[in-house]
Chain A
Amino acid sequence: MFDLLTAKFEDLFYKIRNKGKLSPNDLDSALREIKLALLEADVNFKVVKEFIENVKAKATGEKILESLTPYQHVVKIVNEEIIRMLGSSSSGVSFASRGPTIIMTVGLHGSGKTSSVIKLANFLKTKFQKKVSVIAADVYRPAAVLQLEDMAKNIDVDVYSENNSDPVAISVRGVELFKKSGSDVIIIDTAGRLHIDENMMDEIANIRNKTTPHQIYLVLDAMTGQEAVNIASSFNLRVECDGIILTKLDSDTRGGAALSVYYVVKKPVKFVSNGEKIDDFDIFYPDRIASRILGKGDILTLIEKAEKVVSEKEAKGIEEKIYRNELNFEDFVAQIRSLKKMGSIDKIFSMMPIVNKSKIFKKVNLDDSHLSHIEAIINSMTVDERRKPHIINGSRKKRIAKGSGNSVSEVNKLLEQFSKTKQMLKQFSGLKGKFKLPPGNF
C-alpha cells in the first residue's frame, strides 16, 4: 500500500507536473516519452514511428502549445487517437443473413483458441439465445478434442469430432451435420499453427474454402510482442480474417499488439478474453485498451476521478498538515474512504502511471479487504489516539487489537507504516511549491 503510493507520488509529480506552457522542445520530449511508453507496451516499432508522426501533426495543429496543461493535453490527444483507430471499424457481433453463421478461429499455439470458442459459444447462447455447436478440428495437440468436449459439456453445447481423420473432412462433415440439426451458429476450433508453416496454413485455407465461414477470427494473445504484426498479416493474407479475439487480458500486459495489428491489417478487435472462467469474455471496448496501452493516459482519468471525490479544499488541508507534520489517523481514514469511493484498489492500481508495477506488487496487498482491515484498526482507536498517534502505548495497542479483531503485531505494523509514510510525505512536502499535491492521495 505504502510503497505503491510512494511510486504514485513520484510518477505523478515528475511526469505530470504542471509545466505551464509547452515549448516545441517540450512537445518533442513529451512525444519521446510517449514513444517509449508505446514501445514498452509492445506496439510495433514501425507503427510507433508512424503514430508519433501523426500525433505530432495533430498536436501542432491544435495549438497545444498554448494550452494550460500541455502535457496532459498531448496525452489526451494520443489517447483519443488510439481510441479512434481501435474503434473506427464497426465491431460487435454479426450473424449470417441466411442459414447458420459459421465461425472459424485461427491462431498460434496456445493463444487461447479452444477456450475462446467455448466462451464465444456461451456468449452467443446466453446473450443472443442462439443454438450453438462446435467442431473439434484440432487433431494434433494431445487431448485437444477432449478439452473441447469437456468444456462444451459445461455449457451444454454439441461437439462434432472424429477419430483419425483430417481437419478439413471433419469440418465439412461437422458443418453438414449441424446445418441439418438446425444450429444457429457453428464454430470451428482449429489447431494452433505457425504463420510460416506452409502446410498448416494451407490446411486452414482449405477448411475455409470448403466451409465458407461467415466470420474468421484470429485469436491473439494480448502479451504478444513485436511479431504480432507479421503473425496477423500472414494469417490475414491466407484466410482473410474478419476480426481479432484478444486473450489473456487479465495479465498485466499493456496490450500494444492490438494497436499494431489494427494499424497493419486494419481488422478490429471484436472480443476480449480476460480470464479462464467461462464468462471472462466480452465484446471489445476501444477506450479500455487505449488507456492500458498508454499507461500514462489513465493519469487523467485518475485525477478526474479523484477530483470528484475529494474536494480541492480538503486536499489543501491535508497538504498543509503534511507540511507541518501533523498528519494523523483521522486524515488517514478519510483518505481510505475516498480511495474506496474511487473504485476497487485493483482498478486504481491498474490506472496508475507506474512503470514497474511488478516490483511494487510483491509488497502490496491489492485486496480491498486490506483497506477495510486498516480501517477497522483505526476505528478501534479513541479520538485522542487517532489525532495523536504517538500516545499509543503497549496497553492501548492491546485494546485496539482486541477491539478490531487483530493481533498486536498487526497494529504495530500499521503504526510503523504510518510513521514511515508520514516521514516520506514530509520529505515530499519539503519540495513544496515546486509542485502541487494532487488531491486524493495521502
Chain B
Amino acid sequence: MQKLIKNLSYIWNKFKNDRESFWDELEEQMVTSDISINTASRILEEVKNHVYRENINNLEKVKSSLKQQIIEILKCNGDSKLNISSRPPTVFLIIGVNGVGKTTSIAKLANMFKKNGKKVLLSAADTYRSAATEQLQYYAEILGMDMVCHQKFSDPGAVVYDSVEKAKARGTDLVIIDTAGRMHTSYNLMEELKKIKKVICRRIGREVDEILLVVDSTTGQNARNQAELFNNSLNLTGIILTKTDSTSKGGIVITIKNDLNIPIKLITNGEKLEDICYFDPVRFTELIFS
C-alpha cells in the first residue's frame, strides 16, 4: 500500500500562492488512488469549508482535516468485527469476481480462527474453476481442518448443504464457504449465489453470519459496480480488501463505503497465511498518509 497523498509539502507553497491549483492537485492525487471523482470532490468540499471556516493556513491542519474526513467515511457505527453466532456453526460466505483472492483469504481467515481455538470447516463450493477444489484442499491439509467437496461441475448448493450439515454433526464452530469467481453482471451466476444463500439460511435458521465481498485493491472504478450489484443480490455484511501489498492505494473502498455504506472488515497484504488483519479506519488512513 502506498501513500495516498504523495507529498503534501511539495504542493504546499501553492496553498498560499494559487489556492485553486492546490485543491486541483489534491483532487488529482486522490483520484490517482482510485477514489471516484465524486467522492474526491465531496471530501474536498468538506475540507475546503473547514479550512475557510477556521481560517486554517497550516499544512498539518489541512492534512488532519483531510484525514478526518476520510476516517469519518470509513468508520462504521456498528462493530466492524466479524459476526460470530451464539448458535454454532457460524457461517461465512465468501464471494467476488474472478481472481481477486477469495480462496487465499479463506485460508487466512481459517488460520486466524484456528489460532483462536475454533474448529473450522472449509466448504469447496467453487465447483467450476479447474483445480479450485485442490487449491482449497491444499490449505485444508496444511491447516489440518475438514473440507467438504463434491465433483467438478456439481451443484454448489449441494456442497453448501452438506458442509453445514456436516458442521452441525461434528460440532464445528465455523464454516467458511469458497465460491467460484463470477462477474456481478452475470444474471445466472448471481441467481446461483442467491440460491446458495437460501440453502444456508434454511440450514441454520437465521441470516448468514457474514457475506463478505472480496475486492482486489488494484481494481479501479469497477469495484464500486461490483459492490453495488453483489450487495443488491445478497446484502453484503462487509468487504475484504486484498493485495494491499501492491502499489495500488485501494482508494475505491472509500468510495464504496461513502456511496453504499458497506463496511470494510479485513485487509490482506501478501500471499502468506499470516498476511491478514482486521480493518481499522484510523490505521488505514494513517497508512495512506504516512
Chain A residues with CB under 8 Å of chain B are 36, 39-42, 44-45, 108-112, 140-144, 146-147, 150-151, 194-196, 221, 223-228, 230-231, 248, 250-254, 256-257, 276, 357-359, 361-362, 365-367
Report how far A141 CA is from B98 CA in the complex, Å. Answer: 15
Which residues on the B side are within 8 Å of A276 (C-beta)?
98, 128-129
Among A39, A143, A194, A224, max chain B CB count under 10 A is at A143
A44, A361, A366, most chain B CB atoms within 10 A = A361
Establish whether residues A251 and B184, one from each chain, have CB atoms under 8 Å apart when the complex forms.
yes
Is B228 a contact of A227 with CB atoms below 8 Å? no
Write the chain B residue with the least CB distance to A253. B222
A143 touching B131, Cβ below 8 Å: yes
Query: Which chain B residues lie closer than 8 Å to A195 at the CB level?
Result: 247
Please name the residue on chain B nearest to A114 by beta carbon: B130
**A228 to B246 CA separation, bound complex (whole angstroms):** 12
Q: Is the CB of A224 within 8 A of B218?
A: yes
Q: Which residue of B lies closest to A39 (CB)?
A: B37
15 residue pairs A–B, Cβ–Cβ below 8 Å: A40-B221, A41-B221, A42-B221, A44-B32, A110-B101, A143-B131, A146-B130, A226-B33, A226-B248, A227-B218, A251-B97, A253-B221, A254-B221, A358-B232, A362-B232
Would A143 and B99 count as touching, CB distance under 8 A?
no
Highest count of chain B CB atoms <10 Å: which of A44, A150, A365: A150
Complex contacts, B184 vs chain A, CB 8 Å: 251-252, 358
Contact across chains for B229 and A361 when beta carbons are under 8 A apart:
yes
Stretch in B12-20, B133-141, B162-170, B171-179 touching the partner: B133-141
Consensus secondary structure, chain A interface? loop
B37:A146 contact, CB within 8 angstroms: no
Interface contact A358-B247, CB-CB below 8 Å: no
Taken residue by residue from 204 to 221, chain B's Cβ proximity to chain A (1 for < 8 Å, 0 otherwise) reads as: 000000000000101111
Interface residue B225 (Cβ < 8 Å from any Cβ of A): yes
Residues in B neighbouring A146, C-beta threshold 8 A: 130-131, 134
Point out residues on B near A: beta carbons under 8 Å: 28, 31-34, 36-37, 97-101, 128-132, 134-135, 137-139, 183-187, 216, 218-223, 225, 228-229, 232-233, 243, 245-249, 252, 271
Complex: how many Å from CA A112 to CA B31? 26
Q: Please report the C-alpha to C-alpha distance between residue A109 and residue B100 in the assembled complex, in whole angstroms.
A: 8
A254 to B221, CA, bound (A): 9
Q: Determine how close the nearest CB of chain A comes to the CB of B262; give it in whole angstroms.
A: 14
Of chain A, the residue at the smallest CB distance from B227 is A358
A228 nearest CB across to chain B (Å)? 8
By beta carbon, the residue of chain A nearest B31 is A45
**Given A224-B218, A225-B218, A366-B187: A112 in contact with B229 (beta carbons within 8 A):** no
* Distance, CA A42 to CA B186, complexed state (A): 22
Q: Which residues of A contact B248 (CB under 8 A)?
A: 225-227
Assuming the A-B contacts A45-B28, A248-B98, are A194 and B245 also in contact, with contact meaning beta carbons closer than 8 angstroms in the complex?
yes
Q: Do the beta carbons of B245 and A147 come within 8 Å of each other?
A: no
Bound complex: CA A251 to CA B246 (Å): 22
Provide the bound-state CA to CA distance between A364 and B177, in Å: 29
CB distance B223 to A223 under 8 Å?
A: yes
Contact residues in B for A147 (Cβ distance below 8 Å):
129-131, 134-135
B246 touches A108 (CB 8 A): yes
The distance in angstroms between the C-alpha atoms of A221 and B37, with both chains bound, is 22
Query: What residues of A have a CB within 8 angstroms of the CB of B186 in the complex?
Result: 250
Q: Is the CB of B129 within 8 A of A358?
A: no
Instruction: Report yes or no: A227 in contact with B232, Cβ–Cβ below 8 A.
Output: no
Chain A residues with Cβ under 8 A from B131's Cβ?
143-144, 146-147, 150
Q: Are A225 and B228 within 8 A (Cβ)?
A: no
Q: Which residues of B lie under 8 Å from residue A361 when comparing CB positions?
A: 185, 229
